[in-house]
Every structure is written in structure tokens, then in C-alpha cells.
Structure 1
Amino acid sequence: NTVHIGLLCRVVITPTLPASVDTSLTTLGHVFLFFSPLHRTATIWKNLNPFWGEEYTLHLPMGFHNLSFYVLDEDTIGHDDVIGKITLSKETISSNPKGIDRWINLSCVDPNEDVQGEISLEIQIVEEEDHKRALCCHVIEARDLAPRDISGTSDPFARILWNGQALETAIIKKTRFPHWDEMLEFVLEEGVAGETPLVIEVWDWDMVGKNDFLGRVEFSLDALQKAPPKGWYRLLPFPSAEEDAGGKLGALRLRIRLSEDRILPSRYYQPLVDLLVESVLCPEDDVTPITLLEDVCSMESRQDVATKLVKIFLGQGLVVPFLGCVNLCEISRTTDPNTLFRSNSLASKSMEQFMKVVGMPYLHEVLKSVINRIFEEKKYVELDPCKIEPSRTRRISFKGSLSEAQIRESSLEVLKGYLKDIIHGIVNSTQKCPTAMRVAFKQLHKQVADRFPEAENQEAKYIAISGFIFLRFFAPAILTPKLFNLRDQHADTQTSRTLLLLAKAVQSIGNLGLQIGHGKEQWMEPLHPFILASIERVKEFLDRLIDVDSENGASEKQPWTLFHPSATIKEGYLHKRRAEGLPLVSRFTFKKRYFWLSKESLSYSKSPEWQVRTSIPVQRICAVERVDENAFQQPHVMQITTRDAGGQVLTTYIQCKNVNELNQWLSAIRKVTVSNDCMLPFCHPGTFRGNRWTCCLQTDRAAHGCSRTHSAVTLGDWNDPLDPDTEAQMVYKHLLLGRDKLRSVEDDLLLSIKGISIVKHLFVLTCTITIEKRKEERKKERKRRMF
């Protein structure tokens, strides 16, 4: 059995910062765990009131204690300045089942409070031959210490303090996982007060300057006599008197929700998955497990449920039939075609998530060049008379500010130019659109046409498709390119306004002009002729889009692919580690190389212009995983494991510049290897050095991997790997929350045989999970008693 904790952390951060921050260089940005960063937001330039609106799902270990958010002022030259931080304990987050959503004041950053890691100790009081007592402290090792040096490591030593005396261990150079195995002793004299505490401190030794504090553990003498400590103990900071800066450093708005789930083996979830699959393959009844799931879920949880279902059916190869099933349910209960898919139903959310998974490379190919040009040109654009600022146009006119009419005319031409390129790119992208999307749209087109065959509703079948691809796909990506990875940073205020106007125009085109003239924003009227002229081109594009031969894709299991074979999925500079066995310091074994990733190969050379490339066939990749920082004493390293023609397993280590880039490359490579048959179930997250693995300390180089791999497609950009057991547990959890509604439906005798079956299976699974949880609790209790 495995235990998984997921922390859904929606970061909606809007700090109000002190005016003392240099506004000419202020670039607020990083939100992460300080020593081992999990995520980093985009940088907002020259703004003391930034808005990110970024959402992250963090998969945290069971033993995590604190989650910290740091806000920094990014500097082009030198180190970034830390403005303040927020630290939330696990207990604080857990005490709010519905999550935390509030403003929290930033506090000062004290290096002595930023500690992490654990230390292994064995302490006992020993009676010696001369009737004297000795306090014996066996300092064994420490792990996951904070990196205090520029190299990302520390030079730790332990200091034992008791009754005015101090003893120290040896200094272990350049490691965050020191192993001392030293015995330090104090003589206990008669009459020593029992209140004298025993303190074990860990420090980072520095040749120049003061040593850096890494954490401490404290025991009272009475506690040592009653129960001598033995085991791992969490390092704690020095007691701090100041908890808060009183808002002087600004405030951060966070939305955080902690979800802890116990994932059971696959056999427990397989009956539930079988029921869901059967309801898609054989949709004979009006009441099915999927319709029941939508009925019992709250409006707030439908996004999560849709995400999990899409992932389950992606893994089953039945995502298009699943979409056909939920779309048909939505269409059949809709009486007015004008309201079709306008609500946040399970069908609309599922289609939205499906497009984000399958269509992200397609989206980038269509929009990226135009979005980049908008960011680079930074033109002032405004159509609303109430928001026009003539002073902004001085930079483009040597004759002074333009008049309001001139600004509107200039803005109109700029917007038309951008819109022309956007619409041209979309309507000419039929062959670039993934087949799975085209089949799903063709299926949707037929279902809407059959439901609304009347002549006055002929536009409904077009609006159903354009409502998804324009309103829920292209328009949101134009509005916020950062959230769709079209840009690394958020747009500034001026560019954001341009993107907003373009997104409004694209939405009007996606509505086929039906709402033109009925809205409050009449100042958009100058764009109406262009919008109306684009509608026929959009209809022709939709006709071509659904003209696809893959009819069997809607009814049979289909292996699905994300990328065109010849497309370059991702490229950029990375650092590749040299061959094994070179007697060099770790930092010098990584060489800068330019990498290209396509569906066929991962290749690299010294520079983009270099003619000679080394290629790794994608079909030979059998694992793509993170590497522990202690393996090379370097952060952001991943390993790519391949198998050559002779069956020998080879590993290549690659270092990325930051955690976001690491996550993006991991996701991209995992997506292109999703159909590989040679994927390994386990691997070593460390490296083989010093005749043993740094992760599990096994001495056999060919030893079985000690960590499970993530050899599956990922949803979204880089996180949230597809795990059938995890997804099934999430679906079960939502069914469990709605068990009262299920009982009421069963009591009303409205369920079909399949409906009753899912209710019965739900309660069987409930009992099974309860039993397994009790077993786990008993195991923990036995271990606790042993110690």
C-alpha cells in the first residue's frame, strides 16, 4: 500500500509592498520552498501590487512540516533580494478542511529560522566503573540539511552543549547528508540541576566569516533519564520573538487546500474503473455511473472530477467515447441551443481539460509567433474613450500627443493587424489539429445536429464547436499566455490591455457574431466589420476540421499521440553530464549543450548552429526521472535512462537552470515516451558513486531501483502524472462525499442495474478502505511501541 498526500495550492498572490522597495527595479516573483524550491512564479516587473493568479498542485511527502512562500525582488545583476516570507505549518493548513483563502502579512527573513532536515541520535546515561555517570551522545548522521554555500551544499558539523560545556564532531565537507558516527561524552557531576538542557546544534563551517546555523534539537535531563532518545529528530530554529512585521513588508493573498488520500492497490479500484468504462462503451441506460457522479458532485468539485475522468479514460484509450457520452447527456437535457455548454457542467469541463492535454502543442504552433510579436512591439492600444491616455503616445510621435480620434484609429489598425494574423493562423491550421480533437468535434457536431434539426437552429452545431475551440481554448490563451506556457512571464499593463481586446474580439468571432451590438461595450464597434467578415472563414474552417476519416476513434480504443513526428516539441540550452568515471568535481562534469526534442529523438550539440548532433532515439528511452540533490550536490538534475541495441542500460544526467525548466522538460519527454513498451517501473533517484548508490546505499550497481518511476503521460504542462490508482481514488472520494445523495436515489428506485451496482460497489470499497486504514494505523502503533 502507498500513502499519498497532495497539496492543492492555488497561489493568487497580490502583495502590497512598502514604498521603500526600489520601484524602478522591483520585480516580484518567487514563491517556493526556500531550500528545495518546488515552484517559482513569473516575475512581475516594476509593480508593487502584482497579480499572479497561478495555480500549482504540489505532491508533498508524508513527513513535511512547513510550506514557505518567499517574495523576492529580482535583480538583473547580483543576487535577488528577499523581501519577506510566509511559513505555514502542516497543522495550520490541515486545520482548515475547506482551505485557506486570505491575506497574510509577510514576515522578516531570519537565516537562523530557515532550517530543514533531521538528525539521527542515540543518547543514554551510562554508569561507569568508578560509580560516575556519563552522558553519552552518539551523533550518527543527518539528512536533507539546508544548503548554505554557493555550491548548493554545506560543510556541516554538530556541536553538543550541556552545563556550560561544548563538544564538536568533525566537519564533513560539501554535503547535505553528513555521516559522523561519533560518540561524545559528558561526565555527570552530583548536584547538577535537572533543568540543564542538552542541546545538539548543527552548523555549516565557513573558512571566512561566521558559521551558518543549520538547526538544533533540545532535550531536558529528566526526559533523558526517563526515555533515552534514539532515532531521527527534526531540526528546529532558534526561538523567535517576532512572528510578524505587522504588514510593513506587505501582504500575500493565498488560496491553499491540503488533501490527504490513502491510495490502495489497483485491484480495489478495478471494479469501479470497469463500471465507468462499461458505461461509456455500452451507454444503454439514462442513469449510468458517470451521470450519477455528476449528480452527486458539487459545482465546486466538477473541475476536479472532470480532470480525473479525462485522465482515467486517456489511460484506457477511450477519451473520445467518454467525451461523446458526457456531451450527449448535456445535449439531451438542453432545450435551448443558445444555452448549450454555457454552464460549468461535467461535459464542458471535460472538453476543456481534454483540449488542454491533447491540443497544447497545436495551440503553441498557431499562436506563439503572434503572441511573441505583441510582447516585443509593446504598442499602445486602446478603443475605450474612458481609458485613453494621450500622454502615452508621445513616444511614438515627435509632434506631441495624438488626439483621441487618432489614438482610436491607430489602435484599430494595430488590432486588425494582430487579429488578421491570429484568424489566418487558426483557419489554416486544420492539418495541425490533433486527430483526437477533430474526431471529438465531429462527434459533437453530429450530436448537436441530431438534437436540433430545425432550420432556425442550423448555427447551433457550429457554435457548439467554436464555443470550445475559440471561447475555452484560443481566447483564454491569448488573454493569459503565461498560463498556457506561450510566454515565460506575465504581460505588463499595456500589453495586457492589448491581449484583452484581442481576446474579446476572438470571443465574438467564436460566437459567430450573434452577440454583436447587444453588449455594453459599444466602443468595440469599429472592430465589428472585421469580426463579421471573419465568420464565414471560421465556418469553413470548422467544416474542414470535422472532415476527418477516423470514425472508429469515437467507438474503439485508440492509441493517442500528442505531437507530430517532425515537430520540435522543446529546445534550449541544458547542461549534460560527462561519461561515468571521470575523476572531476561534480560541478565540472556538466557541459553546456543545446538540446532538441521531437517525437522521434532527443538530440544535442554544442550550439544551435553546430552541424554534428548526437541523437537518442525516443523509442529507446525507458525512464525519465528527477535526481536527488545529494547525488551531485547540484539542484534541478534529471536522468534519462535508455537501453541500447544490446540491451545494456545507460543513464544520461541533465541539469536545468531552474525548477520550472526541469518540470517542463520532464513533462515533454514523458509525453513523447508515453507509448514506449520498454518503460521501467523502478529506478534509482541517486547516482552510483563510491561503490554504492547514493539513494539507497546498495553496493550492487545492477540492483533493482528503489523508487517508482512516472512512466506515464502528464496532464497539463509538467506536473500531475497520470496514475490510474490515484485517479480512481479521487473519483471514489467524490462519490463517497455524495453517498447520502446516492442513497436517496437508490431509495427512490430510480437506478438501473448498473446504477445500483455502482452504489453497492461504493459501499464495498468504503469498507475495504476503512479496513486498510485501520491496518496501517495498527502497524504504526506497533512500530511506536517498539521504539
Structure 2
Amino acid sequence: MAVVCDITVCVTSYHNIPMREGVTQMVNTLTLSLQQGTLVRFPLPTPYNFRGKLGSLRVKVNLSEERILPSVYYQNLIQLLVESVQSSDQSESSLVALLEEMCSAESRQEVAVKLVKIFLGQGLAVTFLDKLNMREVNRTGDPNTLFRSNSLASKSMEQYMKIVGMPFLHEVLRPIITRIFEEKRYVELDPCKIDLNRSRRISFKGSVSEQQIRESSVEFLKGYLSDIIDAILSSVEQCPPGMRLCFKQLHKRVEERFPGPNNQDVKYAAISGFLFLRFFAPAILTPKLFHLREHHADPRTARTLLLLAKAVQSIGNLGQQLGHGKEQWMSPLHPLIQQSVGRLRDFLDRLIDTESDAECSQMSRTLFHPSVTIKEGFLHKRKAEAVHLVTRFTFKKRYFWLSSQTLSYSKSPDWQVRSSIPVHRICAIERVDENAFQQPNMMQIISQDNEAQGGHIMYIQCKNVNELNQWLSALRKVSLCNQRLLPTYHPGAYRNSHWTCCLQSDRAVRGCSRTHLAVTLGDWSDPLDPDAEAQVLYRHLLMAKDVLREKYLAGTESTGSQKQDIRGHCGKSYEGATAASPAKCLWSAIEDLEKAHQAFEKREREEVSNHSRCT
């Protein structure tokens, strides 16, 4: 059994905060520190020209502790999910319908993520999404409202695209997003927001008029938008096969539900609504959230991205709202948008023109391709040595590359000679106490050779806490399945013939702190973990247990022998469980897991009690 913590940190409001990256640094520090149970200290951001009060920050922290049981305890629940998706049951009492009914608006996002990951691991994600989408399409009367709500189907499709399609998104959008960030153009179309003073500060030609600003802005935006659309519409072959198959099935379901020439655009709008409105447009608006950039955009670049996101959204809506909204100042871009809509239909036709109807085989626990560089950048390194005095000169600046197979480094990005550590030899990746070297933002990478008994330690210093957290997270994700992971480590360093953390003199002594191998900054690249995903899903189902009983099991309370009969039917086959409805099978699975948790908790209390008596 394992215990993991899921921590959500939400900045609910802040005012007069002078540095946005300072706030991000605080939140990231708080998140990882809470996960690792360490003390949090916030260095307050202080810009050079800031005067007066620093401002205030309210942070909402949600900590949920999950006890992950051995895999065998989740098999009934997972098997029930698998058989329900493979069955032909489309009724309102099907398990898919029950899951949607039991999800609250607050839990729908997390449930969608866990369900998608469970079915990805089973090779049934596209089949699961097709079931959800079919239900959503069949119960929609007005095609204009199709997938406009945050239903379980919409949320699941959105999460599937992020998990499976993020490398595709990066390949398509990263070059143009990088150029926009580097050029930092002053772009504005809204007459109410044009700042002539700002334009004078950035112009070498003296004063410029409002009309000149609008004309230059239109040219810049047309250039950026054309590049974005060209990159997207030429990316059919780059799109993951699973996404293409999913869109092909969605196209078929919508066409069957809304036939006829009057509904020709509905099947296109359903796909573009996901691909453009929930995938490309949000990534353009906030590149940092989609890992396209390490930092948020400055105000000028953010405005450019917002205007481009609006245009891409209009294209995704097939230009239906052009000329009818309040933002008529966007009209100079309307011809390009309308032209792109015509090309979009051809792109979607080619996107769903895939011959394979078979879903991809089970995904690896990690989503990284071996040849992909996951993370790279300059860091300071030193190898463990029993020295008395450690100065900053003992840390050498090196350029690091991380892939799913190796962690390599050299003197510079273009240096021909590289040293490397095979990822499969990494045993632990942990923080280092600041007092070990009198240096902040440090981590250690513990690795082991095939023939060596002891471990090799490489100490790494990052430039800030954000970079530290990102490297910790990335390294832990690629090494999660390694065979020789360590349960403990030393957060200090071995200096002056002893460990600075526990003062032990034996260099090979067992670590004094437990490792945090599963603590990562949760995102699309997190490895699949069926047990953890099933546990979180169980927690949500447990909270909705009363809804299940009152709505689907009222008046059908069973005796002990009937309950045993239900478990027998549920364990054999979902299709053949005529005596036990999907609701009863789900109830049985929830009860079994609830009893297993109670048994483990009782055993833990007894062990603690026995230990107390012995001491």
C-alpha cells in the first residue's frame, strides 16, 4: 500500500502584486513543499522601482491524501469499467450513464482525467469517448448547443487531447509562439485601448497617429495569423492517430443525428469546437499553461496573443459570428478569417480520412518518445566528494539534456563531447538541504552502476525554485519505472566525515529521510498509474454513493445471500449480469473497496498501538 497526496493550490485573488513570476514562484514553492512535508518560506518579490505596500495574496490550498491499495483490490472496478465500455448497452442505466450522473460539476474535471487515463492504459480510450459522445449527441436537440456545456463528454475529450496531443500541439505552435514572444510587437485594434504614448516610446520615427497604429497592427496580426493557420492546416500527418480516429467517430455520430443539407456544418463545428476552441485557441492565449513557454507573457505580448486567440476562435466557429458581435474593430481580420474557414473544412475532411478503425495498443506508462528532448538548459553541477569546504567554484556550469533514456551534459549546447547518465540507473531525485552547501535551489541525482554496490551522487544547483521544481518533476517522471529506486536518502551532504543531516559517520549508511519519487508537478506528461487513477475515481464514487442508492437502488435492498449473488454475477460478466444491474455491480465494487480500506486502516492502527506498547 502507498500513500500519495494531491495538492491543489489556487490563487483566489491578489492585488498590487508587482511581479507575476514572483507569485508563480510562491505557488510552485508551496505546492512542492507541501507535497514533501517541508517548511515553506517565501522571499517576497521586490522590483527595483516599487514603492509603497507590497500588496496581498490569498491562496486556497486543497490537500487530499489517497491511500493506494495493492492493484488486486482495484481489478473489479477496472474490469467493470472495461466491460461497460465494450458492451452495447446505450440505456440511461448503463454504467457510462451512471458515471455521468454521479459526477458533480466540481468533480467532473478530475473524474474525466482519471477515466481517460484508465482507458488509455486499457487501450479503450477512443471507445470510451465514442460512448460518451454518442450519448451527448443523441440527447442534444439544438445542434447549435452541441458540446457547449462542460459535460463529462466535453471534459473527457478535452483531457484526451491534452494527454495524447500535447506533443502535436508543441510541434505545430511552438515556432510561431516563440517568434511572437521574441518580437514583442505593440499591437492594438480596439480604438478605446490604443495608447499613443506607448507607441511613441517604442517608435524611432517620432509621433504616430491612431490610424498608423491600427494599420501596422493589422499587418502584424495578419502575418502571425496566417502562419498559425498554415501550420495547423498542414498538420494532418502530425496529428496522433488516436485523435484522428476519435474525430472520425465523432463526425459519424453527428452526421447520423443531424442529417440533411441544412446541417452540413454541424459535423465540422463539432470537431473544430474541440480542436480549435478547446485546444489551439487556449494554447495561444496562455502558452505557459500548455508548456509552450516557461513564463507568462508580458502585457504587450499577452494582448497580441489575445487578439490572435479571438481570431482562431472565430475560425473554429466557422465564422458564424463574424460581423454580429460587439467587437467590430476586429473587422480588418474578417476576410482572412473567412478565407481560412473554407480551408478548414478541407483540413477536417483530410483529418478524419483515416483507414484504421482499430484503436492503438496500450500506451506506455510514460508519454515521452525516446528521441524527444524533454527538458534542457544550463545548470551547475558537482559530484559528491568528502571535502571540508565547498565554494561556488566547485560547481561547474554545464548544459543538460533530458530524454526518456539519458541525462546528458556538456560545456555548452554545441559542444561535441557529452557525458551522460542512463535514466534506468537513476535511483532517486531529491532536494538538498540549503545548509548542506549554503546554496539554495539544489537537488541531487543518485544513480548506480550495474556492478556497483553504492550510489553515485551528482549535486545540481538551479537558478530559481521554478527551475528546480521543473527538473525534479521531469526527472522523476522518466525514472518512475526504474528497478532500483531507493526508499530513503540523505537530504544533506557527506562532509567532514559525517552526513550534515543526521550526523552519521558511515558514508554508506541508510538514508535518514524517505524519498518522494511520485511527487511531481501534475500535467499532461504524468505517467499512467492505474492504481492511483482508480483510487481517485473510487473516492468520487464513494462521495456520490448516496446518489447511487437513492436514485437507482431505492426499494431494491438485498439480503446477504442476494448480495453474494450480485457479486457473483458482477464478477463473471457485465453483459451476462441480468440478475445484477450496472448500478448494483457498481455499488458492490464501491462496497468492496470501502471494506478493503477499512481493513488496512484497522491494521495500521493495530501496528501503531503495538509499537507504542513496545516502546
Give the TM-score category using the shorter length. 0.7 to 0.9
Q: Does the aligned pair in 2 maintain the 1:565–1:599 contact within 8 Å? A: yes
Q: Which residue of 1 aligns with 2:11?
A: 11
Q: Does the aligned pair in 1 maintain the 2:284–2:309 contact within 8 Å? A: yes
Q: Which residue of 2 aligns with 1:326?
A: 132
- The DSSP-based 3-state class of the residue aligned with 1:490 is coil
Q: Does the aligned pair in 2 maintain the 1:312–1:727 contact within 8 Å? A: yes
In the alignment, residue 253 of structure 1 is paired with which amino acid?
R
Q: Which residue of 1 aligns with 2:35?
A: 60
Q: 1:628 to 1:276 in 2, by over 3 A?
A: farther
- Is 1:629 aligned to residue 412 of structure 2? no
CA–CA distance in 2 between the matches of 1:709 and 1:257? 19
- Is 1:282 aligned to residue 274 of structure 2? no
Q: Name the stretch that deviates more: 398-407 or 723-732.
A: 398-407
Select which of 496, 499, 522 maps to 2:328: 522
CA–CA distance in 2 between the matches of 1:694 and 1:398? 58
Q: Does the aligned pair in 1 maintain the 2:470–2:521 contact within 8 Å? A: no
Q: 1:549 to 1:697 in 2, by over 3 A?
A: farther
Q: Which residue of 2 aligns with 1:470?
A: 276
Pairwise CA RMSD? 3.9
Structure 1 unaligned residues grouped into runs of 5+:
18-25, 42-55, 84-246
CA–CA distance in 1 between the matches of 2:255 and 2:456? 53
Q: Which residue of 2 aligns with 1:442?
A: 248
Q: Does the aligned pair in 1 maintain the 2:379–2:398 contact within 8 Å? A: yes
CA–CA distance in 2 between the matches of 1:751 and 1:454? 42
| Cα offset, 1:616, TM superposition | 4.2
Q: 1:584 to 1:577 in 2, by over 3 A?
A: farther
Q: 1:281 to 1:673 in 2, by over 3 A?
A: farther
What are the within-5 Å matches in structure 2 for residues 156-305 of structure 1?
249-286=54-91, 287-305=93-111
In the alignment, residue 22 of structure 2 is paired with which amino acid?
H
| Cα offset, 1:534, TM superposition | 0.9
- If each structure's helix is expressed as a fraction of its own residues, which one has the higher value? 2
Q: Which residue of 1 aligns with 2:416?
A: 611
- Is 1:503 aligned to residue 302 of structure 2? no
Q: Does the aligned pair in 1 maintain the 2:120–2:362 contact within 8 Å? A: no
Q: Which residue of 2 aligns with 1:569?
A: 374
Q: Which residue of 1 aligns with 2:19?
A: 27
CA–CA distance in 2 between the matches of 1:375 and 1:360? 20
Q: Does the aligned pair in 1 maintain the 2:6–2:63 contact within 8 Å? A: yes
- The DSSP-based 3-state class of the residue aligned with 1:298 is coil
- Is 1:374 aligned to residue 180 of structure 2? yes
Q: 1:696 to 1:714 in 2, by over 3 A?
A: farther
CA–CA distance in 2 between the matches of 1:58 and 1:451? 51
| Cα offset, 1:345, TM superposition | 1.0
Q: Does the aligned pair in 1 maintain the 2:448–2:455 contact within 8 Å? A: yes
- Is 1:716 aligned to residue 544 of structure 2? no
Q: Does the aligned pair in 2 maintain the 1:681–1:708 contact within 8 Å? A: no
- If each structure's strand is expressed as a fraction of its own residues, which one has the higher value? 1
Q: Which residue of 1 aligns with 2:236?
A: 430
- The DSSP-based 3-state class of the residue aligned with 1:14 is strand
CA–CA distance in 2 between the matches of 1:293 and 1:783? 42
What are the within-5 Å matches in structure 2 for residues 571-720 of structure 1?
571-578=376-383, 583=387, 585=389, 590-599=395-404, 601-617=406-422, 620-621=424-425, 623=427, 625-629=429-433, 632-633=436-437, 635-639=441-445, 641=447, 644=450, 651=456, 653-655=458-460, 656-670=462-476, 678-686=482-490, 689=494, 701=508, 707=514, 710=517, 715-716=522-523
Q: Name the stretch that deviates more: 285-294 or 66-75.
A: 66-75
Q: Does the aligned pair in 1 maintain the 2:454–2:508 contact within 8 Å? A: no
CA–CA distance in 1 between the matches of 2:198 and 2:434? 52
Q: Which residue of 1 aligns with 2:28?
A: 39
| Cα offset, 1:455, TM superposition | 3.0
Q: 1:558 to 1:400 in 2, by over 3 A?
A: closer
Q: Does the aligned pair in 1 maintain the 2:446–2:458 contact within 8 Å? A: yes
What are the within-5 Å matches in structure 2 for residues 150-161 of structure 1?
none
| Cα offset, 1:303, TM superposition | 1.0
Output the TM-score relative to the length of structure 2.
Answer: 0.82
CA–CA distance in 1 between the matches of 2:167 and 2:390? 35
Q: 1:256 to 1:517 in 2, by over 3 A?
A: same
Q: Name the stretch that deviates more: 535-544 or 583-592.
A: 583-592
Q: Deviations over 1:417-469 (max 9, x none)?
A: 11111112222233333333333333333333343343332323322222122
| Cα offset, 1:642, TM superposition | 5.8
Q: Percent identity among equivalent residues?
A: 51
What is the count of residue pairs matched by the alignment? 585
Q: Find the structure with the greater CA-based Rg.
A: 1
Q: Does the aligned pair in 2 maintain the 1:604–1:613 contact within 8 Å? A: yes
| Cα offset, 1:504, TM superposition | 0.3
- The DSSP-based 3-state class of the residue aligned with 1:284 is coil
Q: 1:559 to 1:548 in 2, by over 3 A?
A: farther
CA–CA distance in 1 between the matches of 2:242 and 2:412? 36
In the alignment, residue 133 of structure 2 is paired with which amino acid?
N
Q: 1:31 to 1:713 in 2, by over 3 A?
A: closer
Select which of 519, 536, 545 maps to 1:730: 536
- Is 1:513 aligned to residue 486 of structure 2? no
Select which of 45, 48, 51 maps to 1:72: 45
Structure 2 unaligned residues grouped into runs of 5+:
557-577
Q: Does the aligned pair in 2 maintain the 1:466–1:511 contact within 8 Å? A: yes
Q: 1:784 to 1:324 in 2, by over 3 A?
A: same
CA–CA distance in 1 between the matches of 2:24 and 2:329? 42
CA–CA distance in 2 between the matches of 1:714 and 1:316? 24
| Cα offset, 1:347, TM superposition | 1.6
CA–CA distance in 1 between the matches of 2:431 and 2:553? 50
Q: 1:704 to 1:27 in 2, by over 3 A?
A: closer
Higher RCO (C-alpha 8 Å, min separation 6): 2
Q: Does the aligned pair in 1 maintain the 2:490–2:512 contact within 8 Å? A: no
Q: 1:767 to 1:600 in 2, by over 3 A?
A: closer
- Is 1:747 aligned to residue 575 of structure 2? no
In the alignment, residue 28 of structure 2 is paired with which amino acid?
H
CA–CA distance in 2 between the matches of 1:753 and 1:340? 30
Q: Does the aligned pair in 2 maintain the 1:14–1:252 contact within 8 Å? A: yes
Select which of 586, 602, 605 maps to 1:758: 586
CA–CA distance in 2 between the matches of 1:490 and 1:355? 22
- The DSSP-based 3-state class of the residue aligned with 2:416 is coil
CA–CA distance in 2 between the matches of 1:458 and 1:640? 59
In the alignment, residue 282 of structure 1 is paired with which amino acid?
S
- The DSSP-based 3-state class of the residue aligned with 1:573 is strand
Q: Which residue of 1 aligns with 2:337?
A: 531
CA–CA distance in 2 between the matches of 1:461 and 1:360? 24
Q: 1:670 to 1:323 in 2, by over 3 A?
A: farther
Q: Does the aligned pair in 2 maintain the 1:326–1:346 contact within 8 Å? A: yes
Select which of 297, 305, 311 maps to 2:117: 311
CA–CA distance in 2 between the matches of 1:389 and 1:414? 17
Q: Which residue of 2 aligns with 1:201?
A: none
Q: Deviations over 1:192-245 (max 9, x none)?
A: xxxxxxxxxxxxxxxxxxxxxxxxxxxxxxxxxxxxxxxxxxxxxxxxxxxxxx
| Cα offset, 1:709, TM superposition | 6.5
| Cα offset, 1:3, TM superposition | 4.0
In the alignment, residue 758 of structure 1 is paired with which amino acid?
L
CA–CA distance in 2 between the matches of 1:8 and 1:370? 31
CA–CA distance in 1 between the matches of 2:511 and 2:120? 29
Q: Deviations over 1:498-524 (max 9, x none)?
A: 111111001111112122223222221
Q: 1:672 to 1:518 in 2, by over 3 A?
A: farther
- The DSSP-based 3-state class of the residue aligned with 2:15 is coil
Q: Does the aligned pair in 2 maintain the 1:311–1:715 contact within 8 Å? A: no
CA–CA distance in 1 between the matches of 2:426 and 2:123? 21
Q: Name the stretch that deviates more: 563-572 or 412-421.
A: 563-572
